[in-house]
Amino acid sequence: MNSFAEDVLKGLSANPRYLPSMYFYDEAGDRLFKEITKLEEYYLTRCEEEILNNQKEKMLQCFSPDGAGFNLIELGPGDGLKSRILLEYLKKHQVDFEYFPIDISDNVLSLLEKNLSRKLPGLKIHSMNMDYFKALDELHRFTHKPSIVLFLGSNIGNFKHQESVNFLKALHEKIDDDDRLLIGMDLKKDAKLILAAYDDKKGITRDFNLNYLERINRELRGEFLPEHFFHKAVYDQESGEAKSFLVSKCKHEVYIGALDQTFVFDKNEAIFMEVSKKFDGYSIEQLAAETGFRVEQYFYDNSRYFTNVIWRKV
């Protein structure tokens, strides 16, 4: 059984049920996510682009105050459109760096490589197609130069609290004192704005979630009927957690061939799909302190909807 099958079995056998979010991104998932980033309601990408465009110069000063070279390691770059803002700037200013994108989606990595070799010829790029938890073990291979680890979007918000603590602690062990993280973090704001970003009018976020069931059908010989589920997003202002679910419209059974198992769904039973956590100054500082980091610098967009934060080891 491959790890996708194992993880689906684990999630659908749990109570309450869930599906691990790293498997959203097959070819169709990558395409749908790209569509999401262009939606009017999805402010996150626009805000982060604004930050990178307006503050790349200051970011470079933080990455390398003495102008020394570094490795730029990116966890989950996706299509890399935002990272390209930084890459173009670094290349234009003849900074000595090599780029290491790490992504679980081979589709996204090959597109990224193709685009970058066209737009930024000569860029030294070393793609790694693997889970970034596994990639952490490989980071020591690049330590001949300081590392700047990019974790953009709000990927950190897709972890539950304990997962992000475990992840950041593991990252802490792998990096050196003069390395830095640049983490994208979405901020708490008007609940209506946040909910709309996960429940858009065109229904692309719904399709992105339903594609997960279709991926199980394609790759694990599943027999999900996506029309038996509806997409539901909720936001809890206190915890800052926006969560999405697929909810069963009726009592029904689903057979998954690769697992040789039938799963019974009750009417209104929800499968938890993804969390997107929103932070504030306090929760950012707390998370850094809990995992052995300190915040070196915050960068904000004009609306203060989003922040990119530079972290260093304490």
Nearest CB to ligand SAM, comparing residues 7 and 285: 7
- In the DSSP assignment, the letter for residue 235 is E
When asked if residue 153 is in the footprint of ligand SAM (CB under 6 A), the reply is: yes
- Kindly give, in sequence order, each residue whose CB lies less than 8 Å from that of residue 302, ignoring residues fewer than 6 positions away: 50
281 Cα distance to chain centroid: 20
Confirm or reject binding of residue 108 to ligand SAM (CB under 6 A): yes
Token pair for 67: 């102008």
The nearest distance, CB 25 to ligand SAM, in angstroms, is 3
CB of 15 to ligand SAM, least distance (A): 24
Tell whether omega for the bond before 16 is within 30 degrees of 0, i.e. cis.
Answer: yes
Q: Judged by CB under 6 A, does residue 22 bind ligand SAM?
A: yes
User: Pairing between strand 293-300 and 306-313?
Assistant: antiparallel
- Sign of the alpha-carbon dihedral angle for 137, 138, 144, 147: negative
Distance CA 41, CA 57 (A): 29
* Alpha carbon distance 207, 191 (integer Å): 22
Of 17, 26, 32, 33, the residue at the interface with ligand SAM (CB under 6 A) is 33
Q: Tell whether residue 105 is a contact of ligand SAM (CB under 6 A).
A: yes
Among 78, 146, 157, 240, binds ligand SAM (CB under 6 A): 78
Task: Give me the least distance between CB of 233 and ligand SAM, in Å please.
Answer: 15
Instruction: Draw the binding track, 187-226, toward ligand SAM (x: CB under 6 A; -: no contact).
Output: ----------------------------------------
Size of the site for ligand SAM (CB under 6 A): 18
Span near ligand SAM by CB under 6 A; candidates 58-66, 76-84, 188-196, 290-298: 76-84
Instruction: Kindly tell me which of 23 and 263 has the beta carbon lying closer to ligand SAM.
Output: 23
Instruction: With CA atoms as reference, report the closest residue to 205 among 156, 243, 241, 236.
Output: 243
- Name residues whose C-beta falls within 8 Å of residue 18's C-beta, 6 or more positions apart in sequence: 11, 271, 272, 273
- Near ligand SAM by CB under 6 A: residue from 152, 242, 271, 275: 152
Indicate the residue among 71 and 105 with the shorter CB distance to ligand SAM. Answer: 105
* Among positions 50, 63, 77, 205, the unique one binding ligand SAM when judged by CB under 6 A: 77
Q: Write down the least CB distance from residue 285 to ligand SAM, Å.
A: 23
Shortest distance, CB of residue 170 to ligand SAM, whole angstroms? 12
Check residue 103 for interaction with ligand SAM (CB under 6 A): yes
In order of 11, 84, 127, 226, the CA distances from 77 in angstroms are 25, 10, 10, 28
User: Are 77 and 83 in contact, with CB atoms under 8 Å apart?
Assistant: yes
Q: Give the range of 151-159, 269-277, 283-291, 292-300 binding ligand SAM by CB under 6 A.
A: 151-159
Distant-in-sequence, close-in-space partners of 259: CB < 8 Å, separation ≥ 6: 1, 5, 8, 9, 220
User: Which residues contact ligand SAM (rule: CB under 6 A)?
Assistant: 22, 25, 33, 37, 76-78, 82, 102-105, 108, 131-132, 152-153, 155
